[in-house]
Structure 1
């Protein structure tokens, strides 16, 4: 049954997971299936969907795969309608699809901004726009989980486009959590650190032909990220269980490691110091202006 703290009645619920055929998404799918949920996997790769279905070995009445580009709103609407026909109304939404990409500031372009934001931010919003209205009308408690990144909490040299997209997902999630709470819809934000996924390879494979070549610095960022994911990355299945634990306890934030405390404290200290300087400066400025007048 569901409680005020979170959702535990997964049996028979319908969940929708973007980027669900690989990595963290597939870990979330496995965790959902273990709890008895029926799952719609959405992924841009048809081959990945086929592999996931074969690997999971679950009957079509509990698991369906859908080819989806999360930036395509018309396709999103069509897929959502098909999910309702196949499985029923979605009450658990996991906006997980994303890429890790950026460009050198010397190669700024609207096209690259639109590309990265289109997947990492608009893709999250498209899921919200598609399914949250139905959740608002549902008599059951519902839950949305948006995947951001540690790069949405602190600037750590992952490229300004990537950081911008992930900071936006954190802010979107925090504000929506407050605004949707009284409708019985909970929102959590996942900010993974290194997880053993193929996101770097997928990013390179899916990158538009018109995108500028990665600079030496951005290439180094991606190479380092790929190495760290493989050498230090957490298990996607473990992360999937963390995510479902957050749904069960209605936790606002989902972390995958305990490494950022000092960085967050330092950022918070810098912000607090800026506010103190403002208070002192403006008080002094007002006094100076009064005296001048």
Structure 2
């Protein structure tokens, strides 16, 4: 069990959407919360809500791709709210279209936010958590795209599958320090994530896809407006953190798809009886064999 009450949570993207839902639910659970966001208008709107409560919430304007700014933000938050022991790498961006039309800038923008932004959070806070020895928990927001590839989502899917590998390895590395790791994989959520293109840096504007196109925004919003509400999703996250769950997967509509994907993986995997060198590799502790003996 991971205790959350009384601890300080740092939530990226906290001014809106999925991350704001997390901020509200974890504040209600007794956390002191820092909401970091690149958009001042989102921070202002979020604080207008929090100012009507007794929750301890601190807004932080932050570009999570800026490592020096990230370190400064961490110092400011910990000086005011205390040591950060709950880290939510939630901020993310998306833009969709066929890979053959992508520009380098399309790649660089999504990788810089969706992957490097998570890495920056980990690099900033994990050494502090370990040094203090009080444990803690990290939630990396990926997507069902961490498991499921869909046409037109190639760059986004690449970033989210990377978060899956990062999270699974991080959980193994941090277990000895009492720091839990969860990977949240949302499906459709009723947010305005499609407006993320408004925060795209000027030097990465060259795109093979779309910009601030009202018609495209309306189309994308229609797709996700039937999705789960952010606070509902955040309640799953709270339960997952308290229960130290590695995978937080609150979308049963993906069950059949995941079963099919994993069935095809297992069908493609060679069988021990067909490989004459199998026992030798297992006996010498080649990766995979050690896991098999531990499971047995």
* Interval containing the TM-score (normalised by the shorter chain): 0.7 to 0.9
How far does residue 103 in structure 1 lie from its aligned partner after superposition? 4.4
Instruction: Name the SS for the 1:276 alignment partner.
Output: coil
Task: Determine if the alignment matches structure 1 residue 228 to structure 2 residue 244.
Answer: no
1:10 and 2:5 matched: yes
Task: Name the residue aligned to 1:147.
Answer: 141
Match of 1:204 in 2: 197
Post-superposition offset of 1:26: 0.7
- Please name the residue that 1:63 is paired with: 57
CA contact (8 A) 2:103 2:206 kept: no
Deviation at 1:138, TM superposition (A): 2.3
Unaligned runs of 5+ in 2: 277-296
1:63, CA displacement in angstroms?
Answer: 1.0
User: Which residue is 2:118 aligned to?
Assistant: 124
* Offset of residue 220 of structure 1: 9.9
Residues 154-163 or 113-122, more deviating: 154-163
Q: Is the 8 A contact 1:61 1:87 kept in 2?
A: no
Aligned partners of 2:18 and 2:137: how far apart in 1?
A: 18
The change in CA–CA distance for 1:108 and 1:93 in structure 2 (over 3 A counts) is: same
Q: How many residues align?
A: 273
TM-score calculated relative to the size of structure 1: 0.85
Q: Deviation per CA, 1:244-288: give whole Å up to 9, x if none.
A: 1111111111123101122112222222222238985x77xxxxx
Q: CA RMSD in A?
A: 2.6
What are the superposed Cα offsets for residues 20-77 of structure 1, whole Å, 9 maximum, x if unpaired?
0101111111111111111110000011101101111267981110001111111111
Question: Are the counterparts in 2 of residues 234 and 256 from structure 1 also a CA contact under 8 Å?
Answer: no
Counterparts of 2:29 and 2:16, CA distance in 1:
19
Counterpart-to-counterpart distance in 2, 1:107 and 1:9: 44
Match of 1:49 in 2: 43
Measure how far apart 1:207 and its partner are. 3.2
- 1:222–1:175 CA distance, 2 compared to 1 (3 A): farther
Paired with 1:44 and 1:239, the residues of 2 have a C-alpha distance of 22
Correspondence for 2:16: 22
Q: Which residue of 2 aligns with 1:100?
A: 94
